[in-house]
Structure 1
Amino acid sequence: IGEELLPQKLKEWERVHGRMLDWVAAQPADMGDLNHLAPIYAPGLQIDQALKRDLLKRSHGSTRRVCVNLAQLFERAQVLGRDHMG
């Protein structure tokens, strides 16, 4: 993920490169992905739709960043003693 040149780089190691069945590029994270990840990284936290859109925009389509941002949002909600963030 994030290694667009990985197929070319792995050609140096034919034993690894030759074992790849298919090279499929990762798609940017979308709202569906965020909604699947929210219960994992921010369990029980209600997140306003506008905040979800902003979080997704600031994550630049990176699933890793979506996960990190959800975890940080969850931590912030716990510190504030809230079960809803907007």
Structure 2
Amino acid sequence: MKMGREFLDIFTGWAKDYDAFVQGKDAEYADVFKDYHEILVTISDRAGEAVVEFGSGTGNLTTELLKRGKKVYPC
């Protein structure tokens, strides 16, 4: 079973805006996402060697996991 496929169109349309938010390009959300990159790094560092990714985001966490040599398995 694939998780979240019914939301694929929503995530696809939202990805560009989401990336702008997490990169601090929207003043309204700047404080909320000020530590976003550090959070992704911390999660990636704490993850085991293999991670199951169900793909409901923009790929930022997957990118960090791969940078750290983790094996990422899509669902």
* TM-score, reference length from structure 2: 0.27
Which has the higher Rg, Structure 1 or Structure 2? 1
Structure with greater strand share of residues: 2
TM-score (norm 1): 0.24
